[in-house]
Amino acid sequence: MKLVSLTLENFRAYQTPTTIHLSDLTTIIGRNDIGKSCLLEALEIFFNGDVVRIDQADANVFSSSQSVRITAEFSDLPDEITLDAGAPTTLSDEHLLTTTGTLKIEKVYDCSKKTPTCEAFIVAMHPNTPGLHNLLELKEKDLQTLVKAQALDCPLKGNPGMRRALWDACPHLGLEETRIPVSKPKEDSKRIWEQLELHLPVFALFQSDRQSRDSDGEVQNPMKGALAAAISEAQEAIDAIQKLVQAKTEEIAKLTHDALKSIDPKLASSLSPKFVPPTAAKWMGLFSLGMDTDASIPLNKRGSGVRRLILVSFFKAEAERKLSSSAKRNLIYAIEEPETSQHPANQRILIDAFKQIAATPHCQVILTTHSPGLAADLPIESIRFVSSEGPPATPSVKAGVNVFEEVANALGLIPDSRVRVLIFVEGPTDVIALRYLSAALHAEDETIPNLMTDERFAFIPAGGSTLKHWVTEHYLRNMRRPEVHIYDSDVAKYAASVNEVNERTDGLRSCAFQTQKHEIECYLHSDAIKAAFGVDVVCVDHPADDLPSVPEAFASAFSAKQKFDGTMGADKAKKHLSSAFRHMTAAQIHERDPTGEVVGWFRKMSALV
């Protein structure tokens, strides 16, 4: 299940309902104390209630209500859920989905109590016709009575089938958005909730070193995320253990109950054995994973920079682990201010790791930041800007192209005045490719610019892939800088763009190229892909009927190696392949490009400085 949105109501600063839409990588930006961390902590409360627990003070202070609502919306839902043996059903058949086919779960916390209580609801388009609105709450005997009363041709065993028959027999179900209680014992509604809990994503929150509550001095340890991931992948084994323990304990309980009958039949008739399986949080509590540093000094006794560096290492390792894993349950990593106490070089490593994790199946990453350096290198489509006029106004969450200037101004992002040449490409994978290709050639010939480090060159992907690219495009283009455009030959319309640039008469000497090969990935060497991913891929210059393109060939080989359910899409294949360019050597570039086309691009760039 993939988290697609979060809605808060009456939670801390968010008095009126406020929704943030989430993607594979989401970056929450805003000034200090604006409500960024609040969004992550709400998710922690919703999924775990471990690192952060809800308390009476979490209800909005300007509201007369003490009810806090946290609503999460999910896509990529389970195809089937099983309520009892032989009684499979679907969320669609049970009318538990929204109009867009998503699952919306609302948790309501009563903060009027010293220890707030929680009730869960599914918000869905559900039948509201009298007599058909509460079928999920009815017992098997009650459903049988309704089926018989309407003389429906339907087996009288299996609640899902009887509900389906009753709903199908009604011409007007009166579907309306309905809040269906699922956390209290009400027949199948409760069973459905228990099944859904097994499919919910694993959520791991990594806070900055500030205390999460005034009374809480615990330092958040990234090893908790490792435990959560491991437990989620061992869920089948855990379920088997629980069933074994349940069978043994219920056997003992039955013998005890039978013995009680012989002593006091009246008392025995009022008692029944009930097995309560441990929650996921209790399984987490059974295990402890620490990390001692030099001289056996515990990690939480080291400086904040060291602790955050361990966090950098954790995410880098997790990115690599997820690439070689076929885990099915989604993982959500929420990281508060990852730039804290980190050198800029480590921040770049973190960003690369976050992007890599977010690009793998079954993973999402949510970040908060107010650092210009970190935000500048993140994809613009990931940005969510939180702003507020101050209490009692509820913060707003904005996204889209219209908010980028507001974000740039809020963070103080300005273009680099050292830039002398603008390089226009199709997308972020082209940026990565050209940087690594130039670095490899520069190592052989220093007259070729190293685009990894040379501040005189700035990339502008089509549409601007990061905030830094957007700022560069919107400010530097007005300062008359020469441009180099490089586009793949697989899109015919780029030929007109190339001609337009090459025919300019503005005196800036701008130029444009269309690749001689099909696309930038065709310049990769098979050995570089093998070094990066351990798969063999034939690198063709141009695809044909019997020869797939490089991204297609890689997608097939890598998906088979990782045992994915299907073949990864072209966009994800390109994102993965961009990592292979770092393994390219100058010799491999010359072997794949004997005519020197790539070298020619970089020499032209140097000539424009």
Long-range contacts of 238-243 (CB under 8 A, 24+ apart): 238/283, 242/277, 242/278
Q: What residues have CB less than 8 Å from 229, skipping those under 6 apart?
A: 202, 204, 318, 327, 331
More confident residue, 168 or 325: 168
Q: Give the per-residue pLDDT at 380.
A: 80
Q: How many CB atoms lie within 10 A of CB 389?
A: 9
More confident residue, 60 or 288: 60
More confident residue, 526 or 300: 526
pLDDT, tens digit, 9 for 90 and up, residues 510-544: 999 999 999 999 999 999 999 999 999 999 999 99
Tell me 299's DSSP state. Answer: G
Q: Where in the chain is the domain with CATH 3.40.50?
A: 2-214
Q: Give the per-residue pLDDT at 528.
A: 97
Residues 493-512: what's their mean pLDDT?
A: 89
Per-residue tokens: 13: 């600063």
Q: Give the per-residue pLDDT at 391.
A: 80
Q: Give the per-residue pLDDT at 166.
A: 96
Per-residue tokens: 393: 């106004």
Helix (H) or strand (E) holding 348: helix 344-359
Q: What residues have CB less than 8 Å from 23, skipping those under 6 apart?
A: 4, 364, 381, 382
Give the percent of the chain with pLDDT over 90: 48
Does the pLDDT at position 219 exceed 50? no
Does the pLDDT at position 435 exceed 90? yes
Comparing CA positions, the residue from 63, 130, 149, 70 lying closest to residue 104 is 70
Does the pLDDT at position 217 exceed 60? no
Q: Give the per-residue pLDDT at 322.
A: 55
Residues 151-163: what's their mean pLDDT?
A: 92
Question: 429, 574 in Cβ contact below 8 A?
Answer: yes
Q: What is the CATH number of domain 2-214?
A: 3.40.50
